[in-house]
């Protein structure tokens, strides 16, 4: 039979290991966001009506939105999108993707996916289910110059 000292020693050794692993099971560390391949800008409008302008925008590190339409899965890259309007219908998150060409498509989205970006204040993260709209300013200098 093991002595109580053995168990106490094991606990003391395991506590620092387990407490240091919190970021593996929880949210990302503050200030860290996935680094997207492209440097794109977007304005997020949340369900409370708060607008947030961001650079380095991504959804889970990707520069496209992915959703279902019928039995198929669609991906639309951000550079083709003018805006995405999010809404809940019968407990399902949907997004109307309005393209720069004037066409649009409605997709069923996963509400737990997260959008990321950088603001003038720091990093930004929001679940797609908390968004009302995501707009992409003109990348050709029309609405907003890139300053490059």
pLDDT digits (tens, 9 = 90+) for 6-47: 666 667 666 565 555 544 444 555 668 888 888 899 999 999
What local confidence, expressed as pLDDT, does residue 141 receive?
Answer: 46
Q: What percent of the chain has pLDDT over 70?
A: 75
- Going across the sheet that includes 104-108, the strands are 72-77, 64-69, 104-108, 92-99, 81-89, 131-135, 42-46, 51-59, 114-118, 123-127
97-102-108 Cα angle (round to 5)? 15
pLDDT at 3 over 80: no
Mean pLDDT calculated for residue range 87-113:
95
* Confidence grade of residue 147 (pLDDT, cut at 50, 70, 90): very low
């Amino acid at each position: 039979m093991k002595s109580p000292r053995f168990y106490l020693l094991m606990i003391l050794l395991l506590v620092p290991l387990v407490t240091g692993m919190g970021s593996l099971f929880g949210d990302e560390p503050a200030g860290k966001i996935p680094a997207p391949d492209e440097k794109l800008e977007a304005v997020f409008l949340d369900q409370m009506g708060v607008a947030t302008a961001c650079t380095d925008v991504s959804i889970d590190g990707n520069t496209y939105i992915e959703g279902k339409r019928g039995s198929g899965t669609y991906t639309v890259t951000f550079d083709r999108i003018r805006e995405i309007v999010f809404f809940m219908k019968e407990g399902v998150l949907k997004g109307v993707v309005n393209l720069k060409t004037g066409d649009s498509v409605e997709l069923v989205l996963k509400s737990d996916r997260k959008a990321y970006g950088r603001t003038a204040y720091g990093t930004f993260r929001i679940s797609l289910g908390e968004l009302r709209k995501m707009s992409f300013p003109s990348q050709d200098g029309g609405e907003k110059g890139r300053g490059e």
